[in-house]
Structure 1
Amino acid sequence: MSKKVLHVLSVSFSIKYFIGNQFKYFKTKGVEFHVACSYSDELMQLSEEYGFKPFPIPVKRAIDPLQDIKSIYRLATYIKKEKFDIVITHSPKGGLIGGIASFFAGTPKRIYFRHGLVFETLTGIKQQLLILVEKLNSATSHYVVNVSPSIKRKSEKLGLNKPHKNIVLGKGTCNGVDVHRFTYRDGFKENDVRVVGFVGRISKDKGIAELIQAWKILKRANAKIKLLLVGPIDERDPIENDLLEYINQETSIDFAGEVSDVTYYYNKMDLFVLPSFREGFPTVTLEASASRLPVITSRATGCIDSIIENRTGKFVEINGVDIAQAIQSYLDNPSLMVEHGINGESFVKNHFSEEIVYPLIEKHVFD
């Protein structure tokens, strides 16, 4: 399978999560990878680590007509020169720039990865503009990989593209999980402090305000509990200042911020919570399950596909009372935590491991 493939993304931060070990896996099968992305030192470091050829180009998340036209022209010229067999685009803006450029360059196979529907939590003109962008990205692509079944259903309901273009890789995800990275504690002592964990952007969309409301309820009834928050503060969707101040000052909350390796932090948790308002497919819930943690999450798009209810975790409404009740039900039943954690590990290994997902990518993307 000798192929020349270009990935187009907005920011280098996404490379590890959207593609990751695919570079190494498919390189052994004769695939040559290039990545077009906004310049950063990280882009250059990852190109050496994963063995792809970088093509730094401005891909701004905000709409900038003049810069966007320049980027499309430069990228189309590069695509024509390199004669790529496949161009794969990611995120709304990467899809816009890469989709138009590869369309005009006449790339024989163009694929858009729909990682989520950003407009779900927006209203008005911004929402309509992003819906239009999704439709345009789909129109310039031969196929659209929806990263979860619920994203596919929502896309078809909204008519974002012709249904025959839609693909879902197995039960979902864009890249699978390297299950070998994740380990788990061998049980816990009866008198241990219970640690409730969260991994993700500290933002409104992730339900942080509602999680903190739940925490205020829980800490009144439980002396030995900790909340461990792992992730960067999101400047594009910031939480209120007084909420951030509470997080930083509350002694029962440990705020780790952005970290380079989350595996260590999953091992400090007893259960995992993601009360998100929207996702594409939340990789963090799969990582938590791979670490044998029971998962509490919402029924939002993407999240609803990431657990088996009452087997690997529990669904909640996104409000403080419901989240607190679900957490308390696990705290009161340690054996259920263990049972759901073990079930979750099997769920991820059987459906979302790289060994399962990569052959599906080979079939649907590279064939």
Structure 2
Amino acid sequence: MNILHVINISFVIPYFFGKQFSYFNNRGYKEYIVCSSSEELRRFAASYDFEFYEVEILRAISLRKDIKAVYKIAKCIWQSKADVVTGHTPKGALLSMIAAYIMHVPVRIYFRHGLVYETAKGFKRKLLLYMDRLSAQLATKVVCVSPSVYKRSLEDKLNMGSKQILLSKGTCNGIDIERFNRDKLDYSRIERLKADLGLNRYNFIIGFTGRMVRDKGIIELVNAFKCLQGNHPNIALLLVGMLEKRDALPENIVNEIKRNSSIIYTGYVENAMIEYYYAMMNLFVLPSYREGFPTSVLEASAMELPVITTKVTGCIDSIIEEKTGIYVEHDSGSLAIAIENFYHDEMLCHEYGRNGRKFVVDNFEQHIIWKEIEKLYLEV
């Protein structure tokens, strides 16, 4: 079978697919990607062994360019003789489902990675809701990446219940438990990285990985760290990810990140290195306002880190409360208290970390998810 995946940015390829390509290639499938052009796309194609088509897929709405993209995706479907089309991210999913419906592709799968309208208001919220419902209507199946996304999708009447499914207990690709394993890492490399970043002078490192935007709770995290810093000069905040213009952080928070010598901001880090950044952390924090299913929390848990997160869609499924992590409100004061509790209790950190790895291994190992995906491919 020929499988055509449509995404709008190559950055997501290691997270949404990664070794999945090898698994399906070895089972006789032919994998293609449609994505906006980038050097990274070409590197990933060589690394993961897939063919690709370059089509400009904008995150913003542009009627002329979107119609052109639908035409080009339809052409890619014809050229690849696609038996299955999967659409990822709101815009990639919408355009791919339109094109696949026009081309009569028998299996059209919309991966609902989250509910972007949750934090939107007014006309923008209504538009995002309409886009999601249209993608779902044109799809033959809708994969919700977490139980809470599944539940909210039904509550908001995004599609018929018979259309949507959950892959095991969630995610779109599972977690590589061999890669995200402290026992498999080169500890001399960890120490060199610590020294390069200036982290070897701290004995407690609070970590975050992901997009540096308001929706991720970065404002609350930075303010919580400032509250703690005066009493605990031996703590650091490690922020791994890109500052983005969309949903951008306020200027005072960006300035604090750049000015504060105990806040280590790395910018974009290659996915191939990310496990070494988790290995430097003592605690992982994601005070997000919305998620699909936060892969970063599962990666951190696989790396035996205790987790602090929020009770929002996606995040609520990512920990076992008071076993692998705890929930906090969107408030810098309560976040600071939660961080301090872990700071003062090393045994609790280790206990939550061990529980977290078991939780991931038992429920989110990649082959569990890939077998579920294959069942979808074969539904005609």
State TM-score, norm by structure 1.
Answer: 0.95
Counterpart in the other structure of 2:327: 315
1:1-367 equivalence runs, <5 A: 3-184=1-182, 193-260=203-270, 261-367=273-379
2-structure distance, mates of 1:253, 1:339:
27
| Secondary structure in structure 2 of the residue aligned to 1:116 | coil
Alpha-carbon shift at residue 41 of structure 1 (Å): 1.4
For residue 92 of structure 1, what is the amino acid of its counterpart?
Answer: P
2-structure distance, mates of 1:82, 1:223:
58
Deviation string 1:147-166 (CA, Å, 9 cap, x unpaired) is 00000111100001111111
2-structure distance, mates of 1:247, 1:183:
29
Structure 2 residue ranges without an equivalent (≥5): 188-200
For residue 43 of structure 1, what is the amino acid of its counterpart?
Answer: L
Q: Is the 8 A contact 1:147 1:172 kept in 2?
A: yes
Deviation string 1:176-201 (CA, Å, 9 cap, x unpaired) is 11111123389xxxx96111111111
For residue 158 of structure 1, what is the amino acid of its counterpart?
Answer: D
Alpha-carbon shift at residue 211 of structure 1 (Å): 0.7
2-structure distance, mates of 1:193, 1:83:
56
Alpha-carbon shift at residue 74 of structure 1 (Å): 2.2
Alpha-carbon shift at residue 248 of structure 1 (Å): 1.2
- Does 36-45 or 153-162 show the bigger shift? 36-45
| Secondary structure in structure 1 of the residue aligned to 2:333 | helix
Deviation string 1:205-239 (CA, Å, 9 cap, x unpaired) is 10011111211211122232111111110111110
Deviation string 1:276-308 (CA, Å, 9 cap, x unpaired) is 001110000011001100000001110000000
Q: Is the 8 A contact 1:77 1:105 kept in 2?
A: no
1-structure distance, mates of 2:353, 2:79:
50
| Secondary structure in structure 1 of the residue aligned to 2:281 | coil
Q: Is the 8 A contact 2:204 2:282 kept in 1?
A: yes
Q: Between Structure 1 and Structure 2, how many residues are aligned?
A: 361
1-structure distance, mates of 2:262, 2:40:
34
For residue 326 of structure 1, what is the amino acid of its counterpart?
Answer: A
Aligned-residue CA RMSD (Å): 1.4
Q: Is the 8 A contact 2:204 2:235 kept in 1?
A: yes
2-structure distance, mates of 1:77, 1:355:
32
Alpha-carbon shift at residue 66 of structure 1 (Å): 0.9
Alpha-carbon shift at residue 15 of structure 1 (Å): 1.3
Alpha-carbon shift at residue 366 of structure 1 (Å): 4.1
| Secondary structure in structure 1 of the residue aligned to 2:174 | coil
| Secondary structure in structure 1 of the residue aligned to 2:87 | strand
Q: Is the 8 A contact 2:202 2:236 kept in 1?
A: no
2-structure distance, mates of 1:327, 1:11:
34
2-structure distance, mates of 1:313, 1:115:
22
For residue 59 of structure 1, what is the amino acid of its counterpart?
Answer: I
Alpha-carbon shift at residue 264 of structure 1 (Å): 1.1
Q: Is the 8 A contact 1:299 1:315 kept in 2?
A: yes
Deviation string 1:234-284 (CA, Å, 9 cap, x unpaired) is 111110111111111112211112111211111111011000001110000
Q: Is the 8 A contact 1:350 1:356 kept in 2?
A: no
| Secondary structure in structure 2 of the residue aligned to 1:131 | helix
Alpha-carbon shift at residue 325 of structure 1 (Å): 1.0
| Cα 1:212/1:312, change in 2 over 3 Å | same
For residue 334 of structure 1, what is the amino acid of its counterpart?
Answer: E
Identity of aligned residues (%): 44
Structure 1 residue ranges without an equivalent (≥5): none
1-structure distance, mates of 2:307, 2:68:
45
| Cα 1:23/1:319, change in 2 over 3 Å | same
| Secondary structure in structure 2 of the residue aligned to 1:272 | strand
Q: Is the 8 A contact 1:183 1:267 kept in 2?
A: no
